[in-house]
């Protein structure tokens, strides 16, 4: 059975441009770029992660299947403390993943910024964020998904409010275990 033909890069870029206006770059990595984007129909702000599959596979030895697994994992995660995938526009050489936009910074930058401004981080505040992070991880683990990249950069505040919830991001190396008793090597 033949594999379905994927749209060309120009068709994918045209579809993306039809629905989203790409704005400034939020983050640039070796294989992907994250832009702030505005949905043309609703005016809502999103984050669009674009993975260049040619660079991804040539430089890292990763395959289209690796990106498809990331999309599958992200699409299955719907939790208030996990950054949510909202849309995917995929083609032969590029995959655009549209995530909810998180306007806050990662937790380390936020702590430094707020303490510099005179905010005192108490044990109660730290435990509040830890509880949110752990509830997100419990949700993932109950679904057989292991994040594998927990670090301060992956814990981002949803917005700039002092009471903003924390959201876990960076699911590119997350995996779904084949069965509930499976384990993952630490190395």
Q: What is the CATH number of domain 9-100?
A: 3.30.200.20
Architecture of domain 107-176: Orthogonal Bundle (1.10)
Q: Which of 103, 106, 149, 185 is catalytic?
A: 149
Are the C-beta atoms of residues 157 and 104 closer than 8 Å to each other?
yes
pLDDT tens, 69-107? 999 999 999 999 999 999 999 998 899 999 999 999 999
How far the first Cα of the chain sits from its last, in Å, is: 37
pLDDT tens, 44-68? 999 999 998 887 667 667 788 999 9
What does DSSP assign to residue 87? Answer: E
- pLDDT > 90 fraction of the chain, expressed in percent and rounded: 62
Q: What stretch(es) of the chain map to CATH 3.30.200.20?
A: 9-100
Q: What is the pLDDT of residue 5?
A: 66
Compute the distance between CA of residue 41 and CA of residue 69 in angstroms, rounded to an integer: 29
pLDDT tens, 104-129? 999 999 888 888 988 888 889 889 99
Is 149 among the residues known to form the active site?
Answer: yes
Q: What stretch(es) of the chain map to CATH 1.10.510.10?
A: 107-176
Compute the distance between CA of residue 75 and CA of residue 70 in angstroms, rounded to an integer: 8
């Amino acid at each position: 059975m033949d594999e379905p033909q994927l749209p060309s890069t120009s068709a994918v870029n045209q579809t993306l441009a039809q629905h989203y206006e790409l704005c400034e770059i939020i983050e640039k990595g070796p294989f992907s770029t994250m832009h702030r984007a505005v949905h043309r129909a609703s005016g809502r702000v999103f984050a669009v992660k674009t993975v260049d599959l040619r660079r991804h596979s040539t430089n890292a030895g990763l395959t289209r299947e690796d990106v498809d697994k990331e999309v599958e994992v992200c699409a299955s995660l719907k939790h208030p403390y996990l950054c949510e995938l909202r849309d995917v526009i995929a083609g032969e050489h590029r995959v655009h993943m549209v995530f909810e936009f998180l306007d806050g910074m990662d937790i380390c930058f936020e702590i430094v910024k707020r303490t510099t401004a005179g905010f005192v981080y108490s044990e109660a505040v730290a435990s509040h964020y830890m509880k949110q992070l752990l509830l997100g991880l419990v949700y993932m683990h109950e679904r057989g998904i292991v994040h594998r990249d927990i670090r301060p950069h992956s814990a981002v505040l949803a917005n700039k409010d002092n009471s903003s919830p924390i959201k876990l991001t960076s699911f590119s190396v997350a995996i779904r275990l084949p069965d509930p008793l499976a384990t993952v090597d630490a190395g």
